[in-house]
Structures are given as C-alpha cells and as structure tokens.
Structure 1
Amino acid sequence: MTTNKDAFRDYLQLEKKYSPHTLTAYCNDIASFEFFNKIHFEEDIIDQVGYDHIRSWIVSLVGEGVSNSSVNRKIASLKAFYKFLLKTKQIQISPLLKHKALKTSRILQIPFSEKEVFNVLDQVQNAIGFEELRNKLIIDLLYTTGMRRAELIQLQLANVDILNKSIKVLGKRSKERILPVLPIIADQFSLYLKERALLVTIVDADFFFLTKRGLKINNSVVYRLINSYFSTVSEKVKKSPHIVRHTFATHLLNNGADLNSVKELLGHSSLASTQIYTHSSLSKIKNIYKDAHPRGRK
C-alpha cells in the first residue's frame, strides 16, 4: 500500500502538476480514510475496500459536523486515487463509480464596492517604510490583477518586469501566465524594492514579497492584511484575498470587459469557472439589455 500511495503522490506532483498545498490535502484525505478503515474495519489496504466502507466514512464525517462541501472534497481525493489505480491497472473498477456527491448550497460571494476599495486605497496612499509600502502594493496588486493569494506569495523576484509592466505568475497545476500591471503599480514596485534592499537580513531572496525578517510571506500574513484594512470600510461578512479577486473580476465585467479576457486574467481553464462572477454584474447587464433592445426603449 505504501508503494501505491507514494506512486500516487508522484503522479499528482509530476504528471498532474498539482500545487504543494493540493498535494498535501489529497494525501491527508487518503491517510484519514486509511486510518478510519484500520479503526472500524481493521482493514489497512484501501485499494481493496468496497463502497460500504466509504459510505461508513461519509456517515462518520457528517456525524462529526464536517460540512457537505468538505466531505465532497475528501471524496474527490479518494476518487482521484482510485482513478490512478485504474489507470495503472491495479484495480478493475472504482468503488466510487456510482457515488453521488452530497448536496451543497452555493455561498454567495459578495464583492467589495468600488467605494470600499478606494476607501482602503486612500488609507494607504501615503505609505512609508518597508511594511507600509509592501502592504499597499499587496492590496493594489491583488485588486488590479486578480491574482490568487498563493500566486502572490510564490511570486518570484525574477518574474517582476518593471520595464515592461508585467509579472509572470505560477497558477494552479504549475500553469504560467503573464499579467499586465498598471503604470502606477510599476512605480510602486520600484519604491518597495528600494526598501526591500535595506532589510538587514534576506533569507528567501528569490521571493518578491518578504516579511521584515527577510522571510517569504505566508497565507496568514496576506489574509490578516486584507481582513484588517477592509474591516475598517466594509461590514461584509467575508473580507479575504479571494473576495478581492472576486471584486477584481466583478468590477471588470461591470465596466464592459468581455468574459474571455477576464477568464485569461484569472487563469481559469474554462469559462464555466469565470461565469460565477457574472451574477454580481446582473443588474448592470439588465440595464444594458434594456437600453440596447428596441423593445426595452418603449
């Protein structure tokens, strides 16, 4: 079994190009199911279990209060594992062949308004010193590029092209894309880099965004930063880097950007992923439709 799990991890990392975060999540889910089987069924070979074992795990997870969406994510990890075993001809049929995902309710992601964003930007307008300039740049870069939090954290110093006003980011499944940056952001790069160069110690020199100790910033630093600033201007429940990304897409669509362009900027593999942002623009779409259609003007 150890060989199967190791081979599966290699498959996800080398062939599927999954990120370290996704890789860890998949492997943890499989280990969790393996542990469940050992405890409840004294079975430690999960590539030979049936759907009854999986169903028992699902019932146990739900009973512990795990949300349906989280359960579905865990089962998706198992499904990927069994798909790998099928691909490598180690099993002939997946025990999840007829499994149906648990029903979930889509949580409406409410973007920030333009006023809220500009109120935050007003707060950091006169930023000075390393941390203030870094924070301002992070907020502005997330809002003007729509990049993911993970992409911002992993941004390499060598991939920031101030002269050509662009950055290269590494998205999901190690897919690279070039993002344009506004001239005002390129100017901020220069100011930040001057302060960055003055740090006493730089440990993670290859990464663009650092802490004052010279270490690469992490998820919690970016989340706390966004949550802190936007909490002063917004009463929305969720105030996270993902909501800023959602805001970026919504504001572009509201101001006439076409869906395909937004898709490319966000790094989505299909339009279906981008279309979730169109609901926020529905009122504007209705007004355009009403003004443009001959029957709407009567």
Structure 2
Amino acid sequence: MDFIIFIISMGALIWGADFIIKESERIALHFNISEFIIGATLIALGTSLPEMAASISASIKGQSDMAVANVLGSNIMNISLVLGLVFLIASKITPGRDLFFKDSAWLLFPVIIFPLMILDGHLSRLDGFLLFAMMGAYVMFLMQSNKSEQVIEIDEELKKEKFNWTKTIALLLVGFILVVIGADYAIESAANIAREFGISEWIIGLILIAFGTSLPELVVSIQAARQGKADMSIGNIIGSNMANTSVVLGSAAMTKPLAINLSSSSFDVFLMIGVTLMLVFITANKLYAKASGVMLLIVLAIFLQHALGA
C-alpha cells in the first residue's frame, strides 16, 4: 500500500510542479517580463521544485538522510542517466553557447564547497544560507552575460493564449497544494517502505525519491533531444543541478539543520563530485557524442551497484 501511495504522491508532486511552472511563466509573459529573465530564473528554479519540496519535507520530519540523499541522487541521475541518454539519442549536438565557461564551471562552486561544509557532520543554517546565496550569484552572472547566447525554451502556446487571472490563480493554488501534499506523502510512504524492507532512509532517498524527482528532467530532456534541441537539455540539467545543490540543500538546511553521517555518505558525495567533473570535462572539450553517453551510463551502473549493494 505504501508503494502505491508513493507512486501517487510522486505523480502529484511532479504534476503540481508543472502547474506552478506553467502558470508562473504565464504571469511573467502577461507582465512583459523578458523571455531571457524567465529562462534564467523561473524555468531553472522551477525544474528543481520537486526536489525542494521533498527535501524540505524530509528536513521538517527530521529525516536528514533522506533530504541530503535526494539531492545527491538527483544530481547523479540528472547527469549520468538523463544526459547519458540524451547523448545516445541525439544525432548532433551543436550548442550556440559556451556551456563550459558560461554554465558548467559554475557547478563546481557548490559541489566542491558542500563536502567542506559537512566535515563537522552537519549542514547548519548558515551553511544553507551560503549555498542559497550561490544560486543568487549564478543568476546575477546570467543577467549580466550576453543575452543573445542564452538557450531559452518558452512555451509558444502560452504566448497565444488569452490571459485569465481566475484560471491562473486557481491552477497555481492547485499546483502548490499538490506539491505540498505530494511531498509530505512521498516522504512518509518512502520512510515506511524503508522500514518495511529494512532499507536505510539514505538508500531510499538516494534512489527512489531521487529518481522520482528527476523524472521531469528525464522526460523533457529526451523529448528535446528527439527534436534536435539537445543543447537545451544540457543547459537545463546544468541549471537544475546548480539549483539542487544550492537552493534545495540550502532551503532544507535553513528550515532545519541537517545531520549527515559521513561514513555512509562519503562514496555518494565523491561520486556526485566525480560525475560533475565529467560534465565539466565534456563541456570544456565539447565531447557531445555517443561515447560520452556510454561513459555516463557506466557511472550510473556503478552508482546503482554500490547503492543497492550497500
């Protein structure tokens, strides 16, 4: 029963996040906010809404392992699974923007600083604030960079639709309700599943919840790759992982300090750093090829083998 509740609650969480992103985008377009600003802030942060809701809910419930493991697992899966499949599916990837200097290099800041923050065994509210501030710095950089180079995906259908405040507010409310309730039940049912099968909450967060919260990126990125927009997928994953490590972890820690068991989490922390370095290497050398996809999927296999064998 808990597994059914988990699937339904994850669906509600993802569906609610989609409502919030769509209607927020609709409001921004209504007020003539530039597409660049929408792409640089709203869409980048919106894709991490499921991770944020799940981690904050876990933090409130005192389930620190699940809150942190969700972010680590999501970051690893976004790069190894999602981008691995994108590289395999896409026939040709020719980004119109330097994804190394303008994007992926920024991932190194929170990814390298996070392990240093948890050497004392916990992530404090101050640590959370500093991580959160890093996303602010990244957004400021995007605002000041060359707007003509930005790869932005704005729903063309939204531009054509007549704006309706009543409908938009109603859907926003529905979205927030689905996200809050979905996150709450997802964490509760996941914890029950962990107890029932004798699996640690760390593993549940690392695989089950992380995979569920990565589904939006997976579906959108594969669709973009099939449409010849694989470069957009890479940009979205970079933005999502940046938001995961800074905003999601930061928000969870500011809600309630997170205790972290370094002995059980060290492999996953180092794997997240390693797979991030792989992405930076790929973008720096423009290795957008099927071979890179195979290498990333091999990392995914190593990750799953270690997690399930732990």
TM-score where L is the length of structure 2: 0.24
Greater relative CO, 1 or 2 (CA 8 Å, sep 6+): 2
TM-score where L is the length of structure 1: 0.24
Which protein is bigger by CA-based radius of gyration?
A: 1
